[in-house]
Amino acid sequence: MVRHNYTDAQKAEAVDLSVEVGATEAARQTGISKRSINTWRNQAGHTARANIKKTEAATEVLVAVAAEKRQELRGLLLDAGIHHVRQSIAADSGRDAQAWMIGAGIGVDKYRLEMGEATGRMETVDLASAESTIDLEVERLAKLHDAKHA
């Protein structure tokens, strides 16, 4: 094994670099062994404890940023849902209205998931009652459509 004699300035530079980018990357950039850099770091008082505190602080910042982004995403999902509902109301055809409402439903489901709510439902429906309700709704929508295009 070849023994190298590094100047104090080279050691300090390697230690400073390792604090910024880590010992492995500092070793790669300087050509000095990782073991030597870690030894000098410890001698200089750069302990793992200080790095843990820096990591914890950086993690707290990232968690806060992620929370802000999630809040923004929730707002965007609600806005998209409202936009899709409005587009379905203004749609010229039933097919377009259906497509817009599917988009609205997806947006609302995603929002509810972001809020921690369950989106699945289990329901028991009487088929005759459901058909009657659907028939009434179809009639109502047909009247609305006719009135809109009259």
Mean predicted confidence (pLDDT) in 108-123? 78
Q: Provide the 8-state DSSP code for 8.
A: H
Residues 41, 18: contact at Cβ < 8 Å?
yes
What are the tens digits of pLDDT across the range 40-53?
Answer: 988 888 766 666 77
CA 65 distance to own-chain centroid:
10
Helix H or strand E encompassing 147: helix 127-148
What are the tens digits of pLDDT across the range 124-139?
Answer: 667 788 788 888 888 9
pLDDT score for 35: 94
Report which of 111, 122, 118, 120 is spatially closest to residue 85, judged by C-alpha positions. Answer: 111
User: Over 80: is that where the pLDDT of 33 sits?
Assistant: yes
41-45 own/partner pairs: CB under 8 Å, 24+ apart: 41/15, 44/12, 44/15
Report which of 43, 15, 51 is spatially closest to residue 30, judged by C-alpha positions. Answer: 15
Domain ranges in the chain are 8-46, 64-118
Report how far residue 38's alpha carbon sits from residue 101's, in angstroms, rounded to the nearest whole number: 60
Residues 137, 104: contact at Cβ < 8 Å?
no
pLDDT score for 1: 59
Token code pair at residue 52: 């843990």
